[in-house]
Chains A and B, each alone.
Chain A
Amino acid sequence: MNEFFQQWFDARSSVPGTIACAVTADGAGFCRSLDPSFPDEQMKEIVSALRSGAPFPGAESSEVRWHTWVFANGKIRSVIRPHGWTFTTAVRVNSEAAQILDPLSEEFLALNPPG
């Protein structure tokens, strides 16, 4: 299953405007930074910080599709699959990566790994 998500991640992680992105499950997974000033370790800290947040109230975890943290110059999106795999990406505002955030998120949720 790791290989399946790794292939998807490799194919989707280099869209212009992406600062860094990660696909993780239970804290482990793949992480890539496309911005030299933003090392992978910091992206891992972001993924970790997002995992520690309070659950969205009034909804089962399966009802939450994604969260988007909107800042003046960019967005951080975390897309949550029902069985724990999470896609996290940080993009710059008005970039190609920002424009395809929704279809990319839908695609991640619709992935059908073997087995």
Chain B
Amino acid sequence: MSEAKHSVLFLDDDKDFLQTIQELYGTMSGQSWNIHTAPTPDRALEILEAERIDLVVVDINMPVIDGIQFLGILQRRHPKLKRAVLTGLGTPEKRAACLANGADLFMEKSPSPEGYKSIFVMLGELLQWTPKEGFEGVLRKVTLQDVIQMECLARNSSILEIYNEHVLGQIYIEEGQLVHAIGAGLLGERALQKLLSLPGGSFELAQFTPPEQKSLSGSWEMLLMNAAQALDESAAVTEEAKTAAASANELASHLEEILVCTSAGDTLVEGVPHDAPARVNWLQSMGQHAAMLGQLLPLGNFDRLETELVEGRAISLTRGGKLVLVRVSKGLGSK
């Protein structure tokens, strides 16, 4: 038996799978992998406390604590540990969530022996992988703008990979200039704006390879400024839309009746509980009286007739040859 070089822990609630993988990968590695198995996250944490583990391979769909949550726990408690996901059902959303929670590798279980060989090779690569030169750590309260600015000022070439639970994107920086952005189904400035507007997530600076196309042009300062401006405008529009929707909801909840008719009495819009003809008659009478009052006392153009009721108020007016009656219940603002 050769000496075990690597310790690998598999976490999966399928005990048969764990037994199979232990035998299979033990044999394939020539026993150079010391394979531990855990059917539950708490057992996995016990092993991690007791043993030196190089790589944890996690299933996603598990009861109580799923693999994504467990990756989050690992990221906090064992940040230097290599982490891979091996799941029966992988979706783009789960992939993004796993990467956001610190997974180094995301793979789907295979129904064939060849597939398990590929997985073994990929896990072996991950075990061999050593971090590149430089520092690794966690920076809190750093914006993507800060990172881009840093890369551009240093005239670096890199790919800024950004991901959270919902979005995966890349920003290409070539010799200190932003040349391409893609993500969230968008391209160019719209992708850049979308990625920079993310409230949170993770990023990684990957080695630069030329993009298939260049979707950004202009100075990086201007592109960042445009993105910031678009973000401000978007926030303002959202706020305006919220206010308008709230006003509309408030109006709708208090609207008792509305009627629009021509000066000849033909109804154009009718939302009244009953007796529309009486309301048409009221509006026509209002128009005639307004003209009469205007002659008796010249106070300028007639604007409207307000009627204060015990349970609400009504506005009757004439505009562009149309007569309008709106009645609202009490509680609606005077505007």
List residues of A whose CB falls within 8 A of some B CB. Answer: 19, 38, 42, 45-46, 49-50, 53-59, 62-76, 90, 105
Contact partners of A74 in chain B: CB under 8 A = 297, 299-300
- B299, A73: Cβ atoms closer than 8 Å: yes
Cross-chain pairs A/B with CB under 8 angstroms, 27 sampled:
A38-B297, A49-B293, A50-B289, A50-B293, A53-B286, A54-B278, A54-B285, A55-B282, A56-B314, A57-B275, A57-B278, A58-B279, A62-B310, A64-B309, A65-B308, A65-B309, A67-B306, A68-B307, A68-B308, A70-B303, A70-B306, A71-B294, A71-B300, A71-B302, A72-B303, A73-B299, A76-B293
Chain B positions 146-201 with a Cβ under 8 Å from a chain A Cβ: none
List residues of B whose CB falls within 8 A of some A CB. Answer: 257, 272-275, 278-279, 281-282, 285-286, 289-290, 292-294, 296-297, 299-311, 314, 327
Determine chain B's interface SS by DSSP, over half rule.
mixed
Given the interface pairs A67-B307, A69-B305, A71-B302, the reply to whether A57 lies near B296 with Cβ below 8 Å is no
Q: When A and B form their complex, what is the total count of cross-chain residue pairs whose Cβ atoms lie within 8 Å?
A: 95
- Closest-CB distance, B311 to chain A (whole angstroms): 7
- A59, B301: Cβ atoms closer than 8 Å: no
A68 to B301, CA, bound (A): 14
- Closest-CB distance, A26 to chain B (whole angstroms): 20
A55 to B301, CA, bound (A): 23
Contact partners of B278 in chain A: CB under 8 A = 54, 57-58
Q: Which 8 A-B pairs have the closest CB atoms?
A: A72-B300, A71-B299, A54-B285, A74-B299, A57-B278, A73-B300, A68-B306, A65-B308
Q: Who on chain B is nearest to A37 by CB? A: B298
- B293, A69: Cβ atoms closer than 8 Å: yes
- A19, B300: Cβ atoms closer than 8 Å: no
A56 to B278, CA, bound (A): 9
- A56, B307: Cβ atoms closer than 8 Å: yes
Cβ contact of A71, chosen from B303, B311, B327, cutoff 8 A: B303
Contact partners of B279 in chain A: CB under 8 A = 57-58
Q: Who on chain B is nearest to A106 by CB? A: B308
Cβ contact of B309, chosen from A49, A63, A69, cutoff 8 A: A63
- Closest-CB distance, A58 to chain B (whole angstroms): 7
A46 to B285, CA, bound (A): 15
A62 to B286, CA, bound (A): 20
Contact partners of A76 in chain B: CB under 8 A = 293, 297, 299
- A69, B311: Cβ atoms closer than 8 Å: no
A74 to B300, CA, bound (A): 8
- Closest-CB distance, B284 to chain A (whole angstroms): 8
Given the interface pairs A53-B286, A69-B290, the reply to whether A58 lies near B306 with Cβ below 8 Å is no
